Amino acid sequence: MQHGADVAEGIAVIAHDDRRFTSSRHSHKQAQLLYAVDGVISLTTDSGTWVVPPSRAVWLPPNLEHVTASHASVRFRSLLINVGSNDALPTACMVVEVTPLLRELILRLAGLVDKPDRTEMAEAVIRLLLLELTFLPAQPLNLPLPKHPALSAFCETMLGDLAHTISIEEAASALYMSRATLMRLFQRETGLSFGRWRQQARMLKALALLAEGRNILDVALDCGYDSPSAFSAMFRRSLGRSPRDYFQSAPPPDETS
């Protein structure tokens, strides 16, 4: 179920509580802050994919075409924000950490929908929310996609079978180029090395599988790791805590109005 409503001038709130879904390709005239209350959301643009687990949000600048999808059941709250001439806000798509304060501000705005007598409070919450958002660090939860046609097709093939490990020499041979040429092309197109890109792809797939309730052994094997310990070590290096701790750290999905 999805519904949206204005909460104050220049701000609308979309609430979505539903099973697995995929949106059509679309854009918004306003900027969008999409917060995963419960479940994992992925957002794909021409330049890459961002994965939003619980306790995180993704920021989209205005007029950016994208597709939004969920992995299993999901609850999210999305703010559509008329940024106007606010130069302090991000101009690129990014995943941001949701502090306890930012979470409460998002949920407070959702609770103020259809309450015209609380407009003054809504405007105060919005001002504080924008200040809190401005200084949040981006999280490493995106996968840049190459524009180069042959490399893009090859990356899509890798994404379809991340359990299979292909060496950079095998990849170069499949693309009819030298190892050095592929390394330069990959770095130029994605900003990442071949190995780092594959690791990032595996981590983002793992987040989606973990959100579905899959056990760590199955997730490790599906993502190309020989053991749960190797997978957990990679996950901790990338996100600073173990897979279990990462999801348990998300706040409970209750809302206050």
Q: Is the pLDDT of residue 12 over 80?
A: yes
User: The pTM is what?
Assistant: 0.79
Q: What is the mean pLDDT of the chain?
A: 86
Structure confidence at residue 70 (pLDDT): 85
Decide if pLDDT at 252 tops 60: no
pLDDT score at 248: 65
- pLDDT tens for each residue of 151-206: 999 999 999 999 999 999 999 999 999 999 999 999 999 999 999 999 999 999 99
Residues of the chain with CATH 1.10.10.60: 145-247
Q: Range(s) for CATH 2.60.120.280 in the chain?
A: 5-132
pLDDT tens per residue across span 207-246: 888 888 889 999 999 999 999 999 999 998 888 888 888 7
Nearby residues of 13 by Cβ (< 8 Å), 6 or more positions away: 4, 5, 6, 7, 77, 78, 79, 80, 109, 110, 113
The fold adopted by the segment(s) 145-247 is: Arc Repressor Mutant, subunit A (1.10.10)
- Class for the domain spanning 5-132: mainly beta
26-50: average pLDDT: 90
